[in-house]
Amino acid sequence: MAEALLNDIVSALAELTDEVNNMENNMNYYQKNMTKKIQIIEKKIDTKNGKNLDNQVWINEYFTWMHMN
């Protein structure tokens, strides 16, 4: 009985480890994706206006971009 319980615990820990690794991979992908989108928006603003806009306009542009994707 104790061995079966130990096996269940080891199995649950392995599943939990896999889930945590998947979450970490998803977070890393999300961060890379968001960084890329932010760079695209910054370039779009710089190209469109020849200068950086104030933060509020930039934030509005960012959320518009996020809503569309």
Q: Is the pLDDT of residue 23 over 90?
A: yes
Residue 15's domain comprises: 2-68
Q: What percent of the chain is predicted at pLDDT more than 90?
A: 38
More confident residue, 12 or 49: 12
Joined tokens for residue 49: 């206006």
The pLDDT assigned to 49 comes to 56
The total number of structural domains that make up the chain: 1
The pLDDT assigned to 69 comes to 59
The pLDDT assigned to 40 comes to 82
The per-residue pLDDT of the chain, averaged, comes to 81
pTM of the model: 0.54
Distances (CA, A) of 3 to 6, 8, 9, 11, 17: 5, 9, 10, 12, 21
